[in-house]
Structure 1
Amino acid sequence: MDIMRWVTFDCFGTLVDWRHGIWTSADLIAPGHGRRLLDAYGRHEREVQAESPGLRYREVLAESLRRACAEEQVPLAPDDASVLAATLPYWPVFPDVGDELTALREAGWRLALLTNCDRDLIGETQRRLPVRFDAVVTAEDAGAYKPSHAHFDTFSRSYEPERWVHVAQSFTHDLVPAHRLGIDRVWINRLGEHPEDPSILQEVRPDLRGLAELVEVIAASA
């Protein structure tokens, strides 16, 4: 009988270039201020999610942008707060994603997304991803936002993985809870960040290249 082998991914930041998406989208409604608003947005999103774990992600996007604009003293028309949700389905997929996801699929791994997103928004994003995913757990499904354990617990109950490797760019949202739950993990450190707690690191890569081979090594050592 086949072993249930799963690789789960965070989507935005790991597979999809959310920084590019937020930057360019913010520039649409505030030309020349996209970079400043991106940096401020990152400071506010986790705060909004923690305050309102049941809030739909499109509202998290809007409220975080409002707070970023207020912090940076950038005028924001009320209708423009929805720009991130409107453009999110078009944010670019990183160029290394297609080959590695295809290699994982060909090696017999099942693929899943554990995403801080709404079902409708991730459904639109999946149209741009180069392979089919076998499962998706959203914040809407889990009733919370990572770094809550709810995504991981929901996935584990639903699919009972026998081999499980989680792959993500966000140290705080993904690596920390995966470590606490004893899940094998790969940090895709696309931004060259310094980890808050190096002791929880297991495998680190600058991007997805070589991931298919790496997860085989991880699975063999389990």
Structure 2
Amino acid sequence: MPLEHSPRPLWLTFDCYGTLIQWDEGLRAAVDRILDAKGDHQVDRETLISVYDHHEHALEQTPPHRSFRTMAGLGLQLALKELGLSASPDDAAILTDSIGAMPPFPEVLGTLNQLKQQGYKLCIVSNTDDDVIAGNVAQLGGHIDRVITAQQAGAYKPDRRLFDHAHAQLGVSLDQVVHICASPHLDHAAARDIGFRCVWIDRGTGRQLLADYTPDATLSTLDGVPELFKSLGW
């Protein structure tokens, strides 16, 4: 459903990490700490992140459903072993404990405040556990009305069950919600399959659009959202 000539949404849903919270920056810092503790080796940060992402995303789509802490720890363990490095329980703790401390992007608090002033209700839909995301939500100025997690839904993006659960919990139809996100692989796939409206925040990280999906709007930072919505007559 294109944004033009479509109804004003009641709810705005947001991906958290990479959209509201500085995920890439925080992940790099955590991986640097993990690698520094391994001593002398030839593994670089970006290689470990790439291999970790591969394992973690595969695990999330492999039954049975397990907590994000479990998935992240196991994914990191598999990545380290694949790259010839030893793995310890401390590695997973460094990674998962750092997530809740990751801060919002500079424009996020002001933008969320604007959107609240414009009358929207705001919900996060995230591939994480309730306790992991709590530290991030606490940094968002009290602007978030609901938080829906993979833990609550028993499913991880891009599985549509997470969004189906979120929409059911919010009591919204597809024309009453717009999703705002940074991840083509996870969120755009669900938007394509379910048909909800979607705004992509392309922060120049190199993430590529899916071959068979184009978001309804693309912005470089979150602070373009209020003006976009005003231009639509919302």
Q: TM-score, normalised by structure 2?
A: 0.85
The structure 2 residue matched to 1:70, chosen from 65, 81, 92, is 81
Q: CA deviation at 1:34?
A: 3.1
Instruction: Tell me the matched-pair count.
Output: 218
Are residues 52 and 83 of structure 1, via their aligned partners in 2, closer, same or farther at CA, if it must alter by over 3 Å?
farther
Query: 2:227: which partner in 1?
Result: 213
Are residues 215 and 40 of structure 1, via their aligned partners in 2, closer, same or farther at CA, if it must alter by over 3 Å?
farther
Query: 1:29: which partner in 2?
Result: 34
Query: 1:149: which partner in 2?
Result: 160
1:8 aligns with 2:13: yes
Residues in 2 aligned to 1:135 and 1:73: alpha-carbon distance in whole angstroms: 42
Query: 1:85: which partner in 2?
Result: 96
Structure 1 stretches of 4+ moved >4 Å: 216-220
The structure 2 residue matched to 1:176, chosen from 185, 189, 207, is 189
Query: 1:189: which partner in 2?
Result: 202
Out of 204-213 and 110-119, give the one that drifted further: 204-213
Residues in 2 aligned to 1:212 and 1:69: alpha-carbon distance in whole angstroms: 42
Q: CA deviation at 1:99?
A: 1.7
1:61 aligns with 2:39: no
Residues in 1 aligned to 2:10 and 2:83: alpha-carbon distance in whole angstroms: 46
Out of 100-109 and 32-41, give the one that drifted further: 32-41
Query: 1:19: which partner in 2?
Result: 24
Q: CA deviation at 1:4?
A: 6.6
Q: CA-to-partner distance for each residue in 1:151-195, whole Å, 9 max, x for gaps? A: 221122122236211001111211121232221100112214331
Q: CA-to-partner distance for each residue in 1:107-145, whole Å, 9 max, x for gaps? A: 010000000010111112211223421111110111100
Residues in 2 aligned to 1:218 and 1:178: alpha-carbon distance in whole angstroms: 20
Q: Per the alignment, in what secondary structure is the counterpart of residue 197 of structure 1?
A: coil
Out of 142-151 and 37-46, give the one that drifted further: 37-46
Residues in 1 aligned to 2:9 and 2:216: alpha-carbon distance in whole angstroms: 22
Residues in 2 aligned to 1:217 and 1:154: alpha-carbon distance in whole angstroms: 31
Residues in 2 aligned to 1:71 and 1:208: alpha-carbon distance in whole angstroms: 37
Which runs of 5 or more residues in structure 1 are unaligned?
none
Q: Per the alignment, in what secondary structure is the counterpart of residue 186 of structure 1?
A: strand
Q: Per the alignment, in what secondary structure is the counterpart of residue 128 of structure 1?
A: coil
Q: CA deviation at 1:53?
A: 5.3
Q: CA-to-partner distance for each residue in 1:25-50, whole Å, 9 max, x for gaps? A: 12112128433322222222210101
Percent of aligned positions with the same letter in both sequences? 30
Partner amino acid for 2:198? R
1:130 aligns with 2:135: no
Which runs of 5 or more residues in structure 2 are unaligned?
1-7, 37-42
Residues in 2 aligned to 1:64 and 1:120: alpha-carbon distance in whole angstroms: 19
Aligned-residue CA RMSD (Å): 2.1
Residues in 2 aligned to 1:173 and 1:199: alpha-carbon distance in whole angstroms: 12
Residues in 2 aligned to 1:151 and 1:217: alpha-carbon distance in whole angstroms: 30
Query: 2:216: which partner in 1?
Result: 202
Q: TM-score, normalised by structure 1?
A: 0.89
